[in-house]
Homo-oligomer: A and B are copies of this chain.
């Protein structure tokens, strides 16, 4: 057990933003809110999964919506007690702890704010080990945890409780509710026992995020910042370039788009393309696929290594395109079915682990 204090929040937000793979919400608003909550209510107790009693009832809390909306329309704080009270009323018992539903700039901060306000501990784990656009794309679903009751609250005071026949329907109906509520809502769902949680999560997410955040923050002090960032984080470097084009569309409650980069430095003369649906889902360099979901694809500022979320992609920004391996759960047949290239409509794109693709890619590069 340790405490999350104000001094921890920046690194957690920064590192989560890398894990967010372009999505998971912009950390800006969430960070301010988490700092304010911890300042007011005190540090948040962070429990490793083996510190959680099996008999506890725990649930992931997060924001759902199109990230571009969350920048303009934040939470106002009424949502957290509202979804919690509704959950406890339906379950007929108190919640014992929150956990993260995903790792992402905003969605690493929402649980800290909620836990601080509620005086509940937070569990050092999440349901993705990254961020994904679909509500049902989590390790809870992979492990048979129902989203029921899926509780949605907006900042106006509307609250919806969804009981569905499966988690795909939760995505289907929940997404429409999100749109009707203005594109950004807070959800509390998938309540489970401490025992079930232990076998249904990606472990150690908050620690991992904080470590990555520290690496990003300190990289610029290193002799060779890029080498330091890549070496310490374990990220695979595919490309360095300048953003020359961003296609973007908000539809069905998601941000869809594609960003094109022209190579700079050693990548001069080459071109990279990254596609996204809230999160980055596919990257190619000169027509060669270098990474796909469920592995993590991240664009980071080429000087500061600060992750660039998909809603912040802008013409002229200089970025590194890097990849990180996803949690092993996503590489199983069921994991790939739920979050592999085909789920995202990427036809004829085979999934191959990012480290394999990188080995091949770097071999070709050194021959070139």
Residues of A within 8 A of B (CB): 86, 156-165, 169, 172-173, 175-177, 179-181
**A–B complex contacts, Cβ < 8 Å, 18 sampled:** A86-B163, A156-B169, A157-B164, A157-B165, A158-B163, A158-B164, A159-B164, A160-B161, A160-B162, A160-B177, A161-B163, A172-B180, A173-B181, A175-B180, A176-B176, A176-B180, A177-B177, A177-B180
Which B residues are CB-close (under 8 A) to A172? 180
Closest B residue, CB atoms, query A182: B172
Could you say which residues of chain B place their CB within 8 Å of the CB of A161? 160-161, 163
Distance A179 CA – B173 CA, assembled complex (angstroms):
9
Cα distance, A61 to B179, chains bound together (Å)? 26
Of B157, B173, B181, the contact of A158 (CB 8 Å cutoff):
B173
With both chains docked as a complex, state the minimum distance between the C-beta of A162 and any C-beta of chain B, in angstroms. Answer: 5
Chain B nearest CB from A166 CB (Å) reads: 9
Q: For A171, give the chain B residue with the smallest CB separation.
A: B180
* Contact residue among B160, B162, B169, B177 (Cβ-Cβ distance under 8 Å from A163): B160
Evaluate contact between A169 and B164: CB separation under 8 angstroms.
no
> A75 CB to closest chain B CB, in angstroms?
16
- CB–CB A165/B158 < 8 A: yes
Q: How far is the CB of A253 from chain B (nearest CB, A)?
A: 10
State in angstroms the CA–CA spacing of A175 and B169 once bound together: 16
Closest partner residue, chain B, to A157 (CB atom): B165
How far is the CB of A215 from the nearest CB of chain B, in Å? 42
* A169 in contact with B173 (CB, 8 Å): no
In the bound complex, what is the Cα–Cα distance between A158 and B165 (angstroms)? 6
Closest to A151 in B: B161
Residues of the B chain whose Cβ atoms lie less than 8 Å from the Cβ of A173: 158, 160, 177, 180-181
CA distance A173 to B162 in the complex (A): 13
Q: How far is the CA of A165 from the CA of B78 in the complex (A)?
A: 13
Having A158-B164, A176-B177, one finds 15 other A-B pairs with CB under 8 Å, namely: A156-B169, A157-B164, A157-B165, A158-B162, A158-B163, A158-B173, A160-B160, A160-B161, A160-B163, A172-B180, A173-B181, A176-B179, A176-B180, A177-B177, A177-B180
Q: What B residues does A177 contact at CB under 8 A?
A: 160, 173, 176-177, 180
Chain B residues near A165: list those with CB within 8 A. Answer: 156-158
**B residues less than 8 Å from A163 (CB atoms):** 86, 158-161
